[in-house]
Amino acid sequence: MGSADNATRPWRRDDDGVRLFIHLTPKASRDHIGEVIIGQDGAVLKVRVRALPDKGKANQALVKLLAKQLGTPKTSLELLSGSRSRQKCIKIYGKNIEILKMLETLIK
């Protein structure tokens, strides 16, 4: 992946998985994985969850939604940053190639 890809894709490869950058909207009418938006800090994936941002419920709903949509166990996802922010970084542990294929399919 080149630097141009980094500007248009909301993820970065790691040795043991992929970091996914998300803009989360809690209290939405439905759980939904939306489009990629390009901001000042790069690309992020817009995600909406019905859960309230109370005691980590929205973060838990985000992890549950991503795990379901990616077909991976919740234990393979970890919130790295943004526990009290709308801007989040989720680590998806596993083989990069498989994760990237799943993400490409999910975001189409």
pLDDT at 27: 97
Residue 108 lies in a domain: no
Cα–Cα distance measured from residue 49 to residue 42, given in angstroms and rounded to the nearest whole number: 22
pLDDT in tens, 71-89: 999 999 999 999 999 999 9
pLDDT at 7: 73
Q: Which domain holds residue 66?
A: 3-103
- For the chain (108 residues), the mean pLDDT of every run of 10, in chain order, is 64 95 97 93 95 96 97 96 96 94 89
Total tally of structural domains belonging to the chain: 1
CATH of residue 88's domain is 3.30.1200.10
